[in-house]
Structure 1
């Protein structure tokens, strides 16, 4: 079935590409052809609410691809409200393409970005994700896209497939496989890259049979170690539905307005402190949703999958920032304000093993409460999951490169240092767009521009031929690229933390004990 698309006034110089679903007309932005808001799947609303994504229907004529599609529902984040979403429509699942040379014969490397947002927020249309500079200077076809987040994408709902957000990502990659040649890309040279929840998504995709063959290289930036077991995920969905007096089933939830449902998720998040007794670390960190190790869509955790060889044929770059937790400390008001009692509680909650708190203090004898608090949070949430992903890849017979971003950003008076998220503007080269200005400061310095150019060159070189410019990681030398004002390759720099976590397995987070038995 095809649908007609009305035409608007266009310029003869506008680029037009024929996709499998129909022709799309983009815009010419300098040397690039840019296409925004191309649907890669049918809107997941109505009868398709909470269903796996379905390929988009074809259309007649030319479809304008000039504006980003509407973001998936995420309650009040980014100043959006229900009427705004209704006005923009329900085409949540759309892709955007920046190409230096649209045409089936160009054969350029393809980079597909998966944005983060704790699996509850995120949209591809944010200015920090503009792909223009990376595509133009790196000679790659750059793709970004939206996927369902929060309850729509990750709640474990009876009657619905698990991990719908991950299934959306697979559908986007299938769209890339089937269409990217027409935009100048090589479907046999696809690199996925993502940060935070996007990095966790990259790790999950490496473990998923449904994604096999859809990409050939992967960059996992600041991978969170938070994956849920079915029991925890089911309890989270039930708790969310109960905020509306409903059951966590498709029959009950499919008629609830998406924004109202996302709002219920926000209410649940605000109450998570009450659930530490049953949810443990997930409640303590206010994490209501994450990919579910359901045994089907996601058979096992990424670390187990890679150790078993699932990523053997995928080249991997994995890494993190040095000061991952400082951004969260600023957000929650703990930055520089941690008491000895708070530090002790954090060590008790997150340090690995029964003697973890003691070992942390011995490994960092001069660390004050603030440093210990930041270290154990950063290690548990991002640094060690990222490192262990590389270790698992090597154990499974694959190849990995490891990096750490050490550059102390000058934004916020230098308080955030090399914090979580700093790598995003540096990799995209959007140093004064969106949230980047707060991290990097007003008017990017020459030092920031130089570092950004080096990171962009490493990422695009890896996408082009699998070599980011530094040696592969192994279990003996552990060579790591340090990104700072001066580049260096050294043994992994966070050795005390590595040794503390060496024998830890990152399992799916489960219920500590059943609700009602606190």
Structure 2
């Protein structure tokens, strides 16, 4: 049982956790602890192993700096960020608490960052939890393994090591958060993009049961892999290095070199489009694997079967999810009819998706059709279907859509993917997503951020974000704009197009596929 160390007035905050005593700092009235190990470094003999409990340390461990990022892909310079950080303590947590002492009983919000399961670290400025903590919650962020280190499927290593890291972090929270003023019985896990996909996976992961009471999933990334697809992609990554896809072969490879191999395969994933299907077209080489053990089923199947019935769920998406991704891909404003047709064919729900989309959106040109089907497939419909599966099983779900068009980047990106992150954290002037807000946050952004923080923290405290729960009849959702309002789900045409679609684990689509015994793809 964790207990807080005595904290004389004027001294830096100190807390005793499972590994020993840690001393943090104070920032704007909040006690902050950074870089606390929650598991042993997954290197050497522990490379590609499930996370192991951290060993203790003697004396007082400084907890004022973030732990080093796990090995990263090269997107947005994340590989350089990881390379510049010293040490191999990749698996660390950070805590912000307005009242660090046992007995405070504050709600706890545990953040899982996104990054397409290929990049991501908790030490980015956009994830600073200080502003959110000042609203009366304990905020926790942490690192987990990504890319091949976390999600490559190969012989001699458990599947979904990144997900197992997340579970280990939540176990650390359960055992230690009381010492920081948090209530281990009121833990809310929240995440965005791949972080929201992780939240969805945790809802159905048996080992995560009981570790959190509530869940917030912001723009759920809907990609989950079958073992065959994941193994085939890992095999291609190993072949890039001239090695076999085994833990024995890959464990001696420098982590940065292994991450670079994953990048190389992602960059030329289109070569495998006839084998990897949509994952190759969207260049998504890593996702959670429905392996029958750590994940017995996709989140939608698990929730429909009642796995998350006792967990309150808050889930939603932005209106123009993939507009930012189109800009990064260099096609925003330049989508051709051929590109739109290909997207409808690859991502749409069923062989007649192109015809059905054109009938549902008769005035839409190639640009809008491309954006609609990409957004629906990757984020919007996976998010909505998660709520519908929860409601169908008798659970509670609240749904929102962020419709506020951000003024940054010339106002061309609308309510795009990632806009919710600075708004929820209140970090409107720092970090990469903050560029969407524009120079000097305007009153609209400040007001919307305050409303979102109030809703998220109220949900963490008591399960009610301030608008009605979603049900299949009324389909009431909160529209987050300059004037938030409760209305029927606004993307009705898309909802109807995807109504009968099942988000199954993505298969290996090449010929001569041999399924593993006992594997499930739902």
Normalising by structure 2, what TM-score?
0.95
Tell me which of 74, 77, 92 is aligned to 1:76: 74
User: What displacement does 1:28 show?
Assistant: 1.1
What residue in structure 2 maps to residue 105 of structure 1? 103
Aligned to 1:170, the other structure's residue is in SS state helix
What residue in structure 2 maps to residue 313 of structure 1? 310
What residue in structure 2 maps to residue 456 of structure 1? 453
What residue in structure 1 maps to residue 397 of structure 2? 400
Q: Is the 8 A contact 2:159 2:291 kept in 1?
A: yes
What residue in structure 2 maps to residue 22 of structure 1? 20
Aligned to 1:112, the other structure's residue is in SS state strand
User: What displacement does 1:396 show?
Assistant: 1.5
Q: Is the 8 A contact 1:229 1:508 kept in 2?
A: yes
What residue in structure 1 maps to residue 116 of structure 2? 118
Aligned to 2:186, the other structure's residue is in SS state strand
Aligned to 1:199, the other structure's residue is in SS state helix
What residue in structure 2 maps to residue 127 of structure 1? 125
* Per-residue CA distance 1:281-337 (angstroms, 9 max, x = gap): 000000001000000001100000000000000000010000001001100011110
Aligned to 1:391, the other structure's residue is in SS state helix
Distance 1:255 1:104, change over 3 A: same
In 2, Cα distance between the equivalents of 1:76 and 1:156? 20
In 2, Cα distance between the equivalents of 1:401 and 1:12? 43
In 1, Cα distance between the equivalents of 2:478 and 2:212? 24
1:244-393 mapped onto 2 (5 Å cutoff): 244-393=241-390
1:434-473 mapped onto 2 (5 Å cutoff): 434-473=431-470
* Per-residue CA distance 1:455-474 (angstroms, 9 max, x = gap): 00000000000000000000
In 2, Cα distance between the equivalents of 1:203 and 1:374? 24
Q: Is the 8 A contact 1:82 1:259 kept in 2?
A: no
Q: Is the 8 A contact 1:193 1:219 kept in 2?
A: yes
Q: Is the 8 A contact 1:207 1:310 kept in 2?
A: yes
Q: Which is worse superposed, 192-201 or 266-275?
A: 266-275
In 2, Cα distance between the equivalents of 1:87 and 1:330? 30
Q: Which is worse superposed, 72-81 or 303-312?
A: 72-81
Aligned to 1:58, the other structure's residue is in SS state coil
What residue in structure 1 maps to residue 519 of structure 2? none
User: What displacement does 1:12 show?
Assistant: 5.6
- After the TM superposition, list the runs of 4 or more consecutive aligned residues in structure 1 that deviate by more than 6 angstroms: none
In 2, Cα distance between the equivalents of 1:324 and 1:102? 38
User: What displacement does 1:507 show?
Assistant: 0.4
In 1, Cα distance between the equivalents of 2:322 and 2:82? 33
Normalising by structure 1, what TM-score?
0.96
How many equivalent residue pairs?
A: 507
1:24-173 mapped onto 2 (5 Å cutoff): 24-79=22-77, 85=83, 88-136=86-134, 138-173=135-170
User: What displacement does 1:356 show?
Assistant: 1.3
User: What displacement does 1:436 show?
Assistant: 2.8
In 2, Cα distance between the equivalents of 1:315 and 1:192? 11
* Per-residue CA distance 1:178-217 (angstroms, 9 max, x = gap): 0000000000000000000000000000000000000000
User: What displacement does 1:86 show?
Assistant: 7.5
In 2, Cα distance between the equivalents of 1:311 and 1:20? 29
* Per-residue CA distance 1:220-244 (angstroms, 9 max, x = gap): 0100110000000000110000000
What residue in structure 2 maps to residue 507 of structure 1? 504
In 1, Cα distance between the equivalents of 2:80 and 2:133? 34
Q: Is the 8 A contact 1:338 1:369 kept in 2?
A: yes
Tell me which of 236, 240, 246 is aligned to 2:237: 240
Q: Is the 8 A contact 2:427 2:434 kept in 1?
A: no
In 2, Cα distance between the equivalents of 1:363 and 1:69? 49
Gaps of 5+ in 2: 1-7, 514-522
User: What displacement does 1:85 show?
Assistant: 3.5
Aligned to 1:187, the other structure's residue is in SS state strand
Q: Is the 8 A contact 1:75 1:260 kept in 2?
A: no
Tell me which of 179, 188, 192 is aligned to 1:191: 188
In 2, Cα distance between the equivalents of 1:327 and 1:375? 13
Q: Is the 8 A contact 1:278 1:515 kept in 2?
A: no
* Per-residue CA distance 1:255-293 (angstroms, 9 max, x = gap): 100001001111111110111111110000000010000
Indicate yes or no: 2:226 matched with 1:229: yes
Aligned to 1:296, the other structure's residue is in SS state coil
What residue in structure 1 maps to residue 477 of structure 2? 480
Q: Is the 8 A contact 2:200 2:299 kept in 1?
A: yes
Q: Is the 8 A contact 2:70 2:82 kept in 1?
A: no
In 2, Cα distance between the equivalents of 1:288 and 1:450? 38
In 1, Cα distance between the equivalents of 2:82 and 2:312? 41
* Per-residue CA distance 1:54-105 (angstroms, 9 max, x = gap): 0100111110000000000014345455796486100000000000000011
What residue in structure 2 maps to residue 430 of structure 1? 427
